[in-house]
Amino acid sequence: MDVTALSMTDLADAIAHKRVSAEEAARASLDRAAKCEPALHAFLELFEREAIEQARAIDARLAKHEHPGPLAGVPIALKDNICLSWGRTTCGSRMLEHYRSPYTATAAQRLIDAGAVIIGKTNMDEFAMGSSCENSAFGPTRNPWDVSRVPGGSSGGSAAAVAAGIVPGALGSDTGGSIRQPAGFCGIVGLKPTYGRVSRYGLVAYASSLDQIGPLTRSVRDAALLMQVMAGADEHDATGSLRAMPDLLAELEEPVNRLNIGVPRFARSGTNHAAVGDSLERAAAALSADGAVVRDVDLPHAGHGIAAYYLVATAEASSNLARFDGVRYGRRAEVRAGEGLDDLYCRSRSEGFGPEVQRRIMLGTHALSSGYYDAYYNTALKARRLIRRDFETAFETCDALLLPASPGPAFRLGEKTSDPLALYLEDVYTVGVNLAGLPAVTLRAGAAMVDGRELPVGVQLVGPAWREDLLLRIARMLERSLPPVTVAAV
């Protein structure tokens, strides 16, 4: 049995029925990582000893006929901005290179309580700021389908680890598309929940009104399983919702009757790669064949999404990252004789933060500064309200919206690093969802043949707030009509 090719659901079932042990699953995952890591650099840290200890504890409980939980023995990876009480939590930054969290994030703890085995922390764009996983202070992650290309960002390490078969599932965070875009580039499933559905306690903040933790998996069912385990109210997160999470698995296989799907007109942009347009039409046709009514809809203010996002997100980043000054938190520069405190702050932050993080802090600080607050930040908040209203209007007649995950397939490493705007525009189809606080899921719908290599192309389904149950049922309908997700041969 090739453990690394199994879905999370199948692996959990195999372990529960003792067809494979949790320790065997953990060792297979670690062995796969050892094989793939020289090419991918998906991980910043692997927990070999801790993972085997966790797995043996699961096997011991199963031997006593105990049921450790729905994820018993399943190897899982965490993005390195999700706190864990062992190992380091670096956020891909020199600023936190040696930081060890004294506690575990709520979302991660709920997976552990359900029996998951945490095998490592995955690489990411520094402080989750990026769309390519090239901004990590510890080097880029590479796409398992073509190691000359990016896996997407900022959750690129988690996406690459799942696509390469190292783990059947991983956690990422999504501030403006950081789960969905890499899921599309790596040909897997990525779910961004409704804002407030999953606790942010233990997630190192980038933009607090936008950040959400979510799963990356190789199937819709596995994404639903992870969500079912980790979602729900948390006394440690004041922004978390008290709404009860419906059973996401109970009716997942039931098709949605009289389904209405809207395709935003701006999603059929002439600037999209041809394969992106083809995949969008293929997904629309598959849903139509299942009885859905697919029609064009308008999101009149979608064109303001990138500008609004990069003002709101950078303003919040400027505030959140102010704590990393080398005195209270983070890397401290070497003290020099005769140097003042301001000099120490400046050098500590200059040495600790990379170029993209510095760029976004400066953008956000400028947007919040006296004389510019109303012109920039406050205007962005007004645009955000209009974007949210557009989605609400669309959902008065639609069950979900269908659009690309990104304008094109994975691009080459270094291709866009000299042009920040080009990189920001990679998020054109994803940022609006975060501004509106909605759930959305990406899944593979096609492929692009580029330079003789087949690269995955993803589409995105967006649902009404708090309707992950409906959204995942629609995604499962679409998934049945598409080719099955396979493990990349790294």
The per-residue DSSP string of 287-305 comes to HHHTT-EEEEE--TTGGGH
Give the strand order in the sheet containing 169-174.
Answer: 43-46, 117-122, 75-79, 169-174, 212-217, 189-192, 440-450, 453-462, 400-404, 260-264, 293-297
Q: What is the distance between the alpha carbons of residues 49 and 461, in angstroms, rounded to a whole number?
A: 39
Closest among 319, 286, 365 to 207, alpha carbons compared: 319
Closest among 119, 107, 103, 98 to 42, alpha carbons compared: 119
Catalytic residue among 154, 199, 241, 279: 154
Its sign, for the CA torsion 277, 279, 280, 286, is positive
Query: Per DSSP, what are the bridge partners of residue 262?
Result: 295, 401
**Angle CA 133–270–388, to nearest 5:** 65
Query: Per DSSP, what are the bridge partners of residue 303?
Result: none
CB atoms within 10 A of CB 330: 22
Catalytic residue among 7, 173, 178, 318: 178
Instruction: Give first-to-last CA distance, the chain, whole Å.
Output: 19
Q: Are 279 and 446 in contact (CB under 8 A)?
A: yes
Q: Is 154 a catalytic residue?
A: yes
Structure tokens at 206: 């980038």
Within the chain, what is the greatest distance between any pair of CA atoms?
75
Q: What is the distance between the alpha carbons of residues 396 and 402, in angstroms, rounded to a whole number?
A: 15
Q: Are 8 and 116 in contact (CB under 8 A)?
A: no
Closest among 406, 116, 460 to 261, alpha carbons compared: 460
The per-residue DSSP string of 393-458 comes to HHTTT-SEEEEESSSSSPPBTTSSTT-HHHHHGGGTTTHHHHHHT--EEEEEEEEEEETTEEEEEE
Q: Is 192 a catalytic residue?
A: no
Q: Is 178 a catalytic residue?
A: yes
Phi, psi of 37 (to 5 degrees): -60, -40
Closest among 451, 430, 440 to 400, alpha carbons compared: 440
Q: Are 275 and 457 in contact (CB under 8 A)?
A: yes
Catalytic residue IDs: 79, 154, 178
